[in-house]
Amino acid sequence: MKALLCKQYGPPESLVLEDIPRPEPGEGQVLLRVRACGVNFPDLLLIENKYQERPTLPFSPGAEVAGDVIAVGPGVGSGVGSGAANEVREGDRVIAMIGSRGFQEETLADADRCVALPDSMDYATGAAFTLTYGTSYHALVDRGRIAPGETLLVLGATGGVGTAALDIARNLGARAIAAGGNDAKLETVREIYDVRDTVNYASGEDPFKDRVNRLTGGRGADVIYDPIGGETFQQALRCIAWEGRILVVGFAADGVNLPQARTNLLLLKGSSLVGVFWGRFTRESPVRSARNFDTLFGWHADGRLRPHISHRFRLDEGIDALRAVAERRVVGKCVVVMDD
């Protein structure tokens, strides 16, 4: 089978497409025929050896896949349900979080990390859904406790988790302000997610915090969703509302020089700085995570969610897929779709 491999750490151009042996599922594992693989910013960090997880070389990037179960290992049994290992069987359509090894035609997944791909979703949507919508629902509901009528400021609003946050906020009855660095991409999310207000933090004579404060009548945002970090985080500290919650989701601006928060700014607003680590949440609280996805899948089946995939690539174009993410050309998600 073919795989796009990272054999030495470096940029997307360092990856190579090669034939590798088909893996055999071990205890509690399943073998998947990958139909689609989501492409995410952490994939870039992974191949550059800048991520907290470091798979053994060589490996293929790609943390989330959708596909078909074509073989099961020992201890795996009777049909997909809540994700337990004994409820997965050959022929099931599933979504799986695997950390890496997604940019290949077949891959292994732990059976208890698989969930049934809803009938309402095609493979590409399934591969684009789990990480972004899982993260954003956990952030806004479990960590941010956002309420109907509250104002949400989404930084990095045109990316994968950002567009998911806008989509979820719309269903929770919150007013969203979309912030990003590209006017054309902001206009796209305005149209898709019915966003009234957008702010380009890369342009404008007035500081970003002043423009947000004007949009909120001087009150600030009740919840700020921040997957960016950097200088934008410093501005966000200054446009949070009284008793607001700043959700620290990631550091796309700079994963090395992490921003520092002045505690006097938190004190003056009675605000909270809240960490969001969805991956650990799924391991520590699997029942709550499953309930979150029950809600999200139900909304999707009812037509209430609008996952947006702006770019699709074949496996042999996987380098281009990663480059599109690195160059910030993607609105929503980018996926690698395997040939039939």
pLDDT band at 257 (very low <50, low <70, confident <90, very high): confident
> Hey, what CATH class is 132-279 in?
alpha beta
- pLDDT tens for 164-176 read 999 999 999 999 9
Residue 246 near residue 153 (C-beta atoms within 8 A): no
What local confidence, expressed as pLDDT, does residue 340 receive? 52
**One-letter amino acid of 104:** Q
Q: Which of 210, 220, 257, 223 shows the shortest CA–CA distance to 241?
A: 220
What local confidence, expressed as pLDDT, does residue 69 receive? 97
> What CATH code would you report for 2-117+308-337?
3.90.180.10
What mean pLDDT value characterizes the chain?
93
Domain boundaries, the chain: 2-117+308-337, 132-279
Does the pLDDT value for residue 285 go beyond 90?
yes
- Please report where in the chains the tokens 């891959």 appear, as a residue: 107
Residue 155 near residue 229 (C-beta atoms within 8 A): no
Q: Which of 176, 201, 170, 142 shows the shortest CA–CA distance to 307?
A: 170
Q: What are phi and psi of 123, to 5 degrees?
A: -65, -40
- A 10 A CB-CB count for 118 gives 17
- pLDDT tens for 293-312 read 999 999 999 999 999 999 99
Q: Measured on CA atoms in the order 211, 216, 220, 223, is the torsion positive or negative?
A: negative
CA–CA distance, 127 with 62 (Å, rounded to integer):
10
Q: Which of 285, 265, 281 shows the shortest CA–CA distance to 273?
A: 265
The residues with which 95 forms a beta bridge, in sequence order, are 66, 115
- The secondary element (H helix, E strand) that includes residue 65 is strand 64-72
Q: What is the DSSP letter of 119?
A: T
- Cα maximum dimension of the chain: 62
Cβ-Cβ contacts under 8 Å for 205 (sequence gap 6 or more):
none
- The secondary element (H helix, E strand) that includes residue 222 is strand 221-226
CA–CA distance, 322 with 179 (Å, rounded to integer):
23
CA angle 106, 280, 261 (to 5 degrees): 125
CA–CA distance, 30 with 90 (Å, rounded to integer):
9
What local confidence, expressed as pLDDT, does residue 83 receive? 44
- A 10 A CB-CB count for 306 gives 15
- pLDDT tens for 60-114 read 999 999 999 999 999 897 555 444 445 889 999 999 999 999 999 999 999 988 9
Say whether 132-279 and 2-117+308-337 share the same fold: no
- A 10 A CB-CB count for 242 gives 11
Q: Which of 158, 159, 93, 156 shows the shortest CA–CA distance to 127?
A: 93
